[in-house]
Structure 1
């Protein structure tokens, strides 16, 4: 059997905060397999009654896969007369607009007696009014199929929920406490909606399935094309003039026959190329998602261009789908730069699940390129702790989740490429990775498949006698980069900081925080002063004697900040450098260690005896002059 590891007290505390502007959640719900369960073949393919040629099963997955009997899932911490439901998002329903939902099936691993099924309209991103329902007198282990008395027509832009009722038992040793089937099949990162009692309140709450999808599917009826592939829009691709840039286009197979080949046409600013053919291996089955690579010509002019990719044929036959064109943008510049990655983690000592997810990050970082991947930890999201900086709380703005914040969580270059955890149907900068492998997948995308319009370099000179670090950040951009919106953010971070009272670790275990922010320039970064397409900025940080110098690192990045949109705050590029260079460093500040300050002036040109808040002009013994911002 499987179970959710749920902290009742933590969840009750988080939902009790719903009156606040930011609802804080400790996102839990991690599936644990018992040794007995792990030794079994947990998934069976058990088809129910054969459906008609004009019908399709639609849900988080569409196959007949079920969890085996007595190997289900449940939430014994929340006993009572509960309901479970899936979200049929606009994206899931898009291929079926104009068709009808005529029934529902759900899979069980235990007998639950009687039940009822319902189709719900969406209200505030959760199940709302019931629009269709039916009773089930006696449920069976396996698939339970039920027809609605009246079909429901699917409308464009609509979001629905579908599910069933059951009685949740409280005995975690009884297999009957784990009644519903869930399998690792279909769409990724899909939530389970549960109607249950939490504290003194009863309502719909969002639970994580830990990588599994519950066995709930609606039966859609209508006229289906024999060959139907729907490509998805692919965002902005960057490339250099007089070159071709390659990108991946995701598609959904809405036809019964597996997709083994596609033909497509790429158009740039209305100019179409020749039809191209690509083999799809392995083939992509019905309602499965696949990808294919396309080559886009950048042309000989710079600028932002409109791109369309039309899927014309499926397995050599005309694509009969309603949506056969994917759209995106092409940003063309004279030159583009390799893009590094900044991973920002949200954590606190009150978060019992944070050590586990931090372990995923550290597992990935062990094999990541330290010259291209940098990490920063914000102690916020689920309350705060003694390591919280003011910038950590400010950056909670980047949660695009209906006012909710939570930990553990991560951002990857602050890209809004993820689904909101609680606000269904929205994009978010924040995600909860389920493994080091998942982090590696996200990281590979940004490191290998995206380019930057700007780059930057960091050099650090540490003056041990004065306990201060002088950081010089230089950079350059191409003409396509939005220099007016460019901001420069700096963090001084420390690794191996001993925790005071970390939740979620074994008694007597010493836990160490990584990537702790010790100092920073400003929450959103400072405006960059450009000289043409280049800039140079110098900062000075005091270094506390209690901080371990060998564990200190400077992380700097170019970012933007929008007060109008939470999902328009991306990091263009990032660089970093250890405070103290060693033999393994790829670059050394070299003679900077022997350089000393000989004079200092304020912005008015008056000589000053020491650091003064604001702009300081520093003359060095090697003849160079630095402009330093002192906080």
Structure 2
């Protein structure tokens, strides 16, 4: 009996030393890796008769230690026009060149197994199972195409980081990552053993919130196990508070490695400014202990007195002579109707009566063009980055979601009875201390409601050249009808957002200090003379003083990137006889002013002021 017990102990030790684990820690089902889950596949190919290869990369910390045993590859009826295939595993993707320009073939450094290609799903068992290391591994297959015009690679229409590498001896001649470019991934599946049954990771990003708010944080749950995920139990910890909760998923999260689900959690009210560390841990998956290697994630949550609202600056470059420029004309009108005060748009005209300068803030190599915050340049004002559909709407929404380190607000009014000078005052503040910044304020005077009938000089060139007739399918929005249903020249238009003067091309030196103190309002004044708002012929661009606006924005003098922007309507002299109150970056109204030593003031003075607001709070305002 003692001898049998000793043999048992030695056997257990031997198993542990060889890397085997207990049956309860591993699933009897294989883990499936790949983008394909179920349903129909799509196709891709070079359309040439040539030697080809495709691959995907498996590189994730959760895959380390798992063993590849089998690969599943789909083929359709075009399989009859393909030569024999070869499954390969390799640490790196390499090709070897021969004597001729087309004598190029794949070189694998781990394994190559040949197989016969036929229609259907082929289950190919590796001649030698391979255990994934921290370096990851490429899994793919090569084949020859014997006929032009074929698309034999089965894919799914989902882009991923590394799930469609391609190579061919005539078209590409080296391995290229084409997943994002083509918007596709391989339908191939890799089967692995040694994976846990119930395993999930959690991830989220650093975020910001406002003081006394209950922030929402978006969590991403990723399946790393062989079982579907119908529920999780998780715990979050922040500010010494720990909360455990249960989350059910309906439908369940698929049993496919990397499959994700998202949901929001609401945190307790944040009552103290500063950075707080949020930690989220998944304790259970499907009511069982979470077996994931990395079950927790932690990031900072920054708590500010106020979160600056981001408004991106959209600048369009256009002209009435430009036949494709109706795209920008309509895009700006739609965005203005949808976003209202949150839409900051400026149209720079060229070669027509509304052009005030040719010295644009970005390089313009054609029309129409647009830029967002002078960071994303050479955009189509309608198609945006993608060029397809109303992409600018998506691009603008993305930029408006970004965090900005400063808030800006502006007011403007005619300060003389003849209404020839516009006084503009911007108020800028930062929720945190900023040091060594090169931020500057800049202003653009914008005219709205411009028409050919309103032009007292009868300058001509007001009709918009139009290349869009008959293109309602490409431009389906109702606002395009005057162009898609019109002729080659569209007249009677009303032009808005027209830039007619500016304070400077980029920013006003010294308008903001290099070091900005948190929660201090910094004001800056600038005056527009209407005599500035003229075109190249010396004619006034504006037609109605009641339809003027001022766009103000903060720009980084080093990068020339716009940090944040805002706009305001220019008030008439009668409506506003002077600035009697300092406008703060919020909606509160000043009720009293004090010097830094506590003396009450009749009006704000140059330098630092303490302002008591209508909501009972106080803030500091710096007046230059």
TM range (shorter): 0.5 to 0.7
Contact 1:57 1:219 in 2 (8 A): yes
Residues 1:195 and 2:167 are matched in the alignment: yes
Residues 1:457 and 2:426 are matched in the alignment: no
Greater mean deviation of Cα atoms: 202-211 or 231-240: 202-211
CA distance in 1 between partners of 2:315 and 2:75 (Å): 37
If the length of structure 1 is used for normalisation, what is the TM-score? Answer: 0.57
- The structure 1 residue matched to 2:202, chosen from 231, 251, 262, is 231
CA distance in 2 between partners of 1:117 and 1:332 (Å): 53
Residues 1:253 and 2:220 are matched in the alignment: no
Which runs of 5 or more structure 2 residues have no equivalent in the other structure? Answer: 1-26, 95-104, 350-356, 377-383, 451-461, 472-486, 579-604, 607-624
Match of 2:50 in 1: 81
* Residues 41-56 of structure 1 aligned to structure 2 (within 5 Å): 53-56=28-31
Contact 1:105 1:143 in 2 (8 A): yes
Residues 1:589 and 2:571 are matched in the alignment: yes
RMSD of aligned residue pairs (Cα, Å): 5.7
- The structure 2 residue matched to 1:66, chosen from 6, 17, 40, is 40
1:212 shift after superposition: 4.4
CA distance in 1 between partners of 2:115 and 2:496 (Å): 55
* Residues 75-474 of structure 1 aligned to structure 2 (within 5 Å): 75-76=46-47, 79-81=48-50, 83=52, 85=54, 88=57, 90=59, 93-109=60-76, 110-111=78-79, 112-114=81-83, 115-121=85-91, 130-134=108-112, 136-156=114-134, 158=136, 160=138, 162=140, 164-167=142-145, 176-184=149-157, 192-196=164-168, 202-207=173-178, 212-240=183-211, 242-268=212-238, 271-286=240-255, 287-297=258-268, 299-337=270-308, 339-342=309-312, 365=335, 368-374=338-344, 391-392=361-362, 432-433=385-386, 454-459=406-411, 472=424, 474=426
Match of 1:487 in 2: 439
Residues 1:545 and 2:535 are matched in the alignment: yes
CA distance in 2 between partners of 1:118 and 1:106 (Å): 12
- Alignment deviations for residues 79-127 of structure 1 (CA, whole Å, 9 cap, x no partner): 352545455375xx23212223444444334324123344454589xx9
Match of 2:429 in 1: 477
- Alignment deviations for residues 185-225 of structure 1 (CA, whole Å, 9 cap, x no partner): 5x6687844335799x8434454667843334352423222
Match of 1:425 in 2: none
1:535 shift after superposition: 1.7
Match of 1:13 in 2: none
Which runs of 5 or more structure 1 residues have no equivalent in the other structure? Answer: 1-51, 171-175, 380-386, 395-406, 416-430, 564-568, 578-586, 597-623, 626-631
Note closer, same or farther for the CA distance 1:358–1:162 as it changes in structure 2 (3 Å cut): farther
Match of 1:629 in 2: none
CA distance in 2 between partners of 1:521 and 1:544 (Å): 15
Contact 2:55 2:165 in 1 (8 A): yes
